[in-house]
Amino acid sequence: MWNRDDLKQFQVLGANLQNIMGGFGSFTLIASKFLLEGGIGTPDDTMMAQFEPARWYPLDRFLRIFDRIHAEFGNFTLRQVGLHVIKAAQLPPHINDINAMFGSMDVAYHLNHALNEQSMFDLATMKMSEGIGHYKPLITPGTNKITVVADTPYPCPFDEGVVAGAAQKFKPAATIVHDRAACRARNAPSCTYHVSWK
């Protein structure tokens, strides 16, 4: 289980936060209010939270806002936000199929987070910093199945949405099954998501 106080040295990229805002759909105004009250973003003329794309924002504060959204709106909203994040993401040209998508997911996750305001994945050295967990894909070549083990500090419904969005970006009919036997919501160290498609 993650202790939020241990995450104070980590940050999340502003461009990623803007994508997350878009995932709240009709709840965007409420999400904006929660973010601003939590000290994340700055209000525009309409009092909507705005984020500087290249700026790093405190991860621990952001996760506390996720807790509040979860308490007031539940799992479905968090899953929808995760689903939107991947659908809105700009992908490099080499990510052109589902296997490449999942093969690059952990790198993308670390690129969008920082340790003491330094990106957690260095593209020049290909070195990844630790401290915020991983999305670990288990890809079996020649099959239409991928298993993803996630041990991030994000709520499991959000991660389920991220996994679903990644799969459905290339396979719109892909299905995702969250293995509830071992789940972070039940104090397990990670969650497992089974992805399959025809």
**pLDDT for residue 111:** 92
Digit-coded pLDDT (tens) for 76-105: 989 988 998 887 776 777 899 999 999 999
- Domain range holding 31? 4-196
Domain count for the chain: 1
Given a cut of 90, whether residue 182 has pLDDT beyond it is no
Per-residue pLDDT for 128 more than 80? yes
What are 129-147's pLDDT values in tens digits? 999 999 999 988 889 999 9
Neighbours of 36 (CB within 10 A): 17
CATH of the domain at 112: 3.90.1520.10
Instruction: Report d(CA 68, CA 85) in Å as an integer.
Output: 19
Its pTM surpasses 0.85 = yes
Alpha-carbon distance values, 84 to 7, 8, 80, 139, 162 (Å): 24, 26, 6, 23, 8
- pLDDT one-digit tens code per residue, 30-80: 889 999 999 999 999 998 999 998 999 999 999 998 899 899 889 998 998
- Exposure string (b/e) for 164-184, b if CB count within 10 Å is 16 or more? bbbbbbbbeebebebeeeeeb
